[in-house]
Structure 1
Amino acid sequence: MNRFAVALILLVLAACAREEMAVPPAPSLKPQCGVASYYHRSLAGNPTANGETYDPKAMTAAHKRLDFDTIVRVRRRDTGRTVTVRINDRGPFVRGRIIDLSPAAARKLGIFGEDGVAEVCIKRRPSPA
C-alpha cells in the first residue's frame, strides 16, 4: 500500500473513534437535605471558585455540584426560617455537609454564632425559560 492510502485509512479510523461528549443531566429540582455550615469572615477578599471576591455580607454559598449562579432556597428544618442564596463557590468539603453559607446568610437562618451548623433542606429555583 502506498503512504497516501495508509494515511487515509488512519484518518478515517481516527474520525470514527472520536469520543462523544456526554451532556450532564440538569441538576434536580428535588430538595436536598443535610447540614449547612458557614464560611469564616477571615476569608473575606479571597477569590471564590468562580473567580469572584468573597464577600461575607453577600447572600452567597458554596455547593459541590450545582452550577455557579444557581439560586437556591435554604430552609432550616427546626425553625422553618429560609434564605435565598446564589452559588458562587465549591464546597463544603466536610462529610455530611451539603452547603456552606456566607455569614450574612447564616445570620438570617439563625445559625451564626450558635454551633455554626444546622439541619437544612435546599431547593434549586428553576431557571427562567
Structure 2
Amino acid sequence: MSRYPLDPNQVELTAIRAQGAGGQNVNKVSSAIHLRFDVMASSLPDHIKQRLLAMADARLSKQGVIIIKAQQHRTQELNRDDALARLQAMVDAVSHQPKARLATRPTYGSRQRRLEGKSRRSGIKALRGRVDD
C-alpha cells in the first residue's frame, strides 16, 4: 500500500496504437496507453508536488505534466496497470526523504594507515630512479 495513493480521476488515460512489430493486428488495435498527470492540479501534498517538479526526468514536461507511455504488453488493461504502477512508483520515490548525512572525521588510526601507505608507495617509487655509482 502506498503512502500517497493517486486519485484515478486526476489521471488522464488515452488508448493509442503501439509502436513496433505486431503483425496484422498492429494497425487495428489501440493497445498502448498514454498517461498524463498534471502535478500542480493533483491532490498530492505540496512537498511531494515540489519534489516531483524538481525531478530531472524526461517524462516531466515544462508545464509540470508527467507523461508516461506504456506499450509493453499486448492488452490495453495490462498497459493501463503498468502505466499507473509506474506513476505510483515515481510518487513513492519522491515521498521517501533521505536522511541527512552527519559529518564525521576520520579516526586517528585510519589517518595513520593512510599516511603509512603513502610513504610505502613513495619508497617504491623512489627506488625506480637512476642508479648512481
Q: Which has the higher helix share?
A: 2
TM-score (norm 2): 0.24
Q: Which has the higher strand share?
A: 1
TM-score (norm 1): 0.24
- More contact order relative to length (CA 8 Å, sep ≥ 6): 1
